[in-house]
Structure 1
Amino acid sequence: MIVIDGVIWQSEGFSRSPLLDQSYLWLSLIEEWVKAKKATEFVVLTRGQTWLPPGTFFSEIPRFAFAEADEDRTGLQSACDQLKARLFLSTGYTTPISTPSIAFIYDLEAEAGSQFHSEYIEKKNAILAAAHYVFFSDEVFAGFRTHYPGIPPEQMSLVYPAIEGWAKPAAPDAMAEFRRKFQLTRPFFLAVLPEQLADYRGIQAVSQAWEILQGQRLSRTELVFAFPSPLKVDPVKAQLPQREGLRYLSLNNPELACAYSSALALVFHSTFRPSSPLEAMACGCPVVHYRDEQPNASGSESATASGEKKDKDPLQNPTALLCQGSVRELAEALQRIQSYPVRSPLIAKGLERAKELSWSTVAAKLWDIFEQVAPSESEEPTDR
């Protein structure tokens, strides 16, 4: 039996990730596991939530509180013992005492704060107790390895979340209407901003690179920063870069699909919308992935502006043009992505990769990891 703690659905407790909707992620996965006839192989421990996908087995337990974390661990272990759990999964960062567990790392927000904060302490406890670690984005995967360098690579899995159904190549007439509506008369690069914009590093770097490109080329392009609709942002009040040809648009999902399908390329930075590279690939849009940070000590993140891989690290994404370094190097990458021999293979690889990222595929991949990590039925878990 696999036990899942539904602690993330409490109205208070662990904070929600700004990078990933944990509620939607877990409900989608649970629904797929029920469809795959695995409902008898897992149970969700509920802490007050009232809805789970039909067919889900669940058991109510007391609500989580940081002040009673030790008692919560004891209670979770008792529940695992009663259910004869082979593996424990938490939607947040709770953990039992001895049952093997997997830690799901959604972001590194807790690590960026005080090490004495209750949420950081509980997250670190869950990480130290875990037998395996699952990540949902390249950036979090890379950052985790910097914060926790002693964890062996074989204990870490990078699993991309599914691409939503709206993300697909737009029809020519829809793209034409999109361009007319927003008066996009020139070729444009696209960057998609998150709902909570707190870090302007990516905006500054991409806009500066685009300005360099404008000065080098006879033909002119535009740069579009897209905000998720219905988010309303005043670029002037937000002190965002201003220049002719630089646009800020609030787009709904169908409009965003048209933007991806029409753009010269999506430019991605760690401060932008995390799902945008996968959405762009599904729409047939090539991706320029820019990293302005320095490679870590192991050199595992190193890449050239041409996108050539120096090792088999999972961070090296063959479906994107990787660029790490100066703003001028990013400008050169934006120029290169416009040539057919560069962009065409990236578009083809991106479309193929997008086919693999349905919720059923993601759920199956995670279940395979669970089976590899969980001890067999005959094995007894040992105390840590």
Structure 2
Amino acid sequence: MSPVRWWTRCSIPPFCQPSAQPETAVRLQKCSPPLWARDARLSFRLMDRPFPQIALDGIVFQYPSDRGIQRVWRSLLQVWATQDFCQHWVILDRDGTAPKFPGFRYVDCPAHDYRHTGACASQLQAICDAEAIDLFISTYYTAPLSTPSVFMGYDMIPEVMGLDLQNIIWQEKHYGILHAQRYLCISHSTARDLMRFFPHIQPEQVAIAHCGVDSSFFPAEASEVESFRANYALDKPYVLLVGERLGVNGYKNTPLLLRAIAQESPRQDIAVLCIGGKDEIEPEILELAGNCSITRLSLSDAEMRAAYSGAIALVYPSRYEGFGLPIAEAMACGCPVITSPISSIPEVGGDAALYVDPDSPDAVREALAQVQQPDVRQRLITAGLAQSKLFSWERSAETVWHTLLETAETLSDRDNSAGERTALLWTQLRQWQTAQQALTQQFRQTQHQLQDTQRQLHDSQYETDHARQQIAAMESSKFWKLRTAWIDLKKKLGGPA
């Protein structure tokens, strides 16, 4: 940033100069701080903050299921925490869920709620205005109104797999894409899919920041592997499945491995070890496994390293990936990989994996036999160790940072009249969305009230019917008939009723 631009941003505004009427200033101070004083304090507060100031919405840490994306951002923040970039960042901490690293500035932010995304965008803009943010980036598909943004794309699964794009999550994703000025993708494959579904995006607008392999992943010692096997009573050779086992529309393709094992003749006595994914193994997976031993574990990174190092192979027959981080992690631990040559996977696996047809159990059986041949196994391990070194969080962090810096500098030199018109459109859209969501919320509350009223009416009707049945039962009883006869007799004899 040029010195002139730096001073323009940080200098005291003209209306804060001593030319202001002192009597007016004194009089206003007795009531509340005048606007010029608040703006002056903001300017002085910002003078020690370098350009650009970047807001990161930590929304993904609010949702525990998004562990892969959480790992991406936790790793990036960990790298930046050791460098001089912390003073450029403002982390929007959703309900106290963002990981805390020294050096970063955190701003409390309300918990995200997909029922109120219009209001959320306005809240984000208010924070950006208060913190004088130059550029915004979200960990998961949020955007302000007028502050420029960069979109981070992890995959295009909803679009490729034909999911319901009217779902509010994917609507917000598309709003984030349309709002952004630049794009970051974790693979070339994801970038190609992004541009295919959003043709207005040009290749020069997209930067690739591959995921990295954490330094905790490297080949484990034989003693560590034995200790791991003993701790979890793993007495058979095993293959690894990491992450979700089915995924939307079954794209993770785990059944392919189980069919391959079930159809093997003679059948090799191997186990399937599932790491992560849903807590309970899905019934369809258990049914396909048959007599094959299949276990689900949740492991720390240290245990994961031992699990990779001791496995026959990682089998990863996915039909689509945004990156495929388990492939790189397995290779870093000296674990052969069997996977499919689809989407981003060849970018990660390179020439160090065995690729199979994702529709062919026979191809998987053949690959399982190959990885147990000593010469093939050693070749894959050696190539995999070299391939995994291509992916580091340091390199990814550098790419992300330079893309953000370049974007902020480019935007600061550009005429902002078009941006102001676009911001107005976004403001109007979000205002309309806020009103619609409020009506939807009101409608749902009315529905709940009607349902409660219907239940109360039903309960009242039941109690009334029950009371009538009791009265009818009493009236038909011998005692009631005797009582009625006695009352009639007393009336005839002239006695009291």
* Alignment TM class, shorter chain as reference: 0.7 to 0.9
Within 5 A, what are the aligned runs for 1:286-301? 286-290=336-340, 301=343
Name the residue aligned to 2:353.
320
Using structure 2 for the length normalisation, give the TM-score: 0.59
Q: Distance in 2 between matches of 1:50 and 1:325?
A: 38
Per-residue deviation at 1:168?
A: 2.3
1:276 and 2:326 aligned? yes
Using structure 1 for the length normalisation, give the TM-score: 0.73
AA in 1 matched with 2:105: F
1:203 and 2:250 aligned? no
Larger mean Cα displacement after TM superposition, 367-376 or 258-267:
367-376
More strand by share: 1
Residue 89 (structure 2) aligned to one of 34, 38, 42: 42
Is the contact made by 1:77 and 1:98 (CA closer than 8 Å) also made in structure 2? Answer: yes
Is the contact made by 2:154 and 2:186 (CA closer than 8 Å) also made in structure 1? Answer: yes
Residues 358 and 324 of structure 1, relative CA distance in 2, 3 Å threshold: same
Within 5 A, what are the aligned runs for 1:1-384? 1-8=52-59, 18=66, 20-22=68-70, 25-49=72-96, 52-60=100-108, 69-70=117-118, 72-73=120-121, 76-77=124-125, 79-80=127-128, 83=131, 85-106=133-154, 113-136=163-186, 144=194, 147-148=197-198, 151-179=201-229, 182-186=233-237, 188-194=238-244, 199=250, 202-212=253-263, 214-215=264-265, 220=268, 222-228=270-276, 233=280, 239-250=286-297, 252-253=299-300, 254-270=302-318, 275-290=325-340, 301=343, 314=347, 317-327=350-360, 328-340=362-374, 342-355=376-389, 357-376=391-410, 379-380=413-414, 382=416, 383=419, 384=422
Is the contact made by 2:244 and 2:252 (CA closer than 8 Å) also made in structure 1? Answer: no
AA in 2 matched with 1:334: L
Is the contact made by 2:153 and 2:183 (CA closer than 8 Å) also made in structure 1? Answer: yes
AA in 2 matched with 1:323: V
Per-residue CA deviation, residues 68-96 of structure 1 (Å, 9 max, x unaligned), is: 54555455456545655442211232223
Residues 239 and 338 of structure 1, relative CA distance in 2, 3 Å threshold: closer
Residues 334 and 121 of structure 1, relative CA distance in 2, 3 Å threshold: same
Q: Distance in 1 between matches of 2:267 and 2:83?
A: 53
Residues 232 and 108 of structure 1, relative CA distance in 2, 3 Å threshold: same
Residues 62 and 219 of structure 1, relative CA distance in 2, 3 Å threshold: closer
Q: Distance in 2 between matches of 1:160 and 1:82?
A: 33
More helix by share: 2
AA in 1 matched with 2:240: L
Per-residue deviation at 1:182?
A: 3.2
Q: Distance in 2 between matches of 1:381 and 1:68?
A: 33
Is the contact made by 2:315 and 2:338 (CA closer than 8 Å) also made in structure 1? Answer: yes
SS in 2 for 1:32: helix
AA in 1 matched with 2:87: T
SS in 2 for 1:324: coil
Residues 3 and 195 of structure 1, relative CA distance in 2, 3 Å threshold: farther
Q: Distance in 2 between matches of 1:252 and 1:335?
A: 27
Q: Distance in 1 between matches of 2:285 and 2:225?
A: 29
Structure with bigger gyration radius = 2
Residues 179 and 359 of structure 1, relative CA distance in 2, 3 Å threshold: same
Identity between Structure 1 and Structure 2 (%): 25
AA in 2 matched with 1:344: Q
Per-residue CA deviation, residues 38-75 of structure 1 (Å, 9 max, x unaligned), is: 12222223454276322212445666555654555455
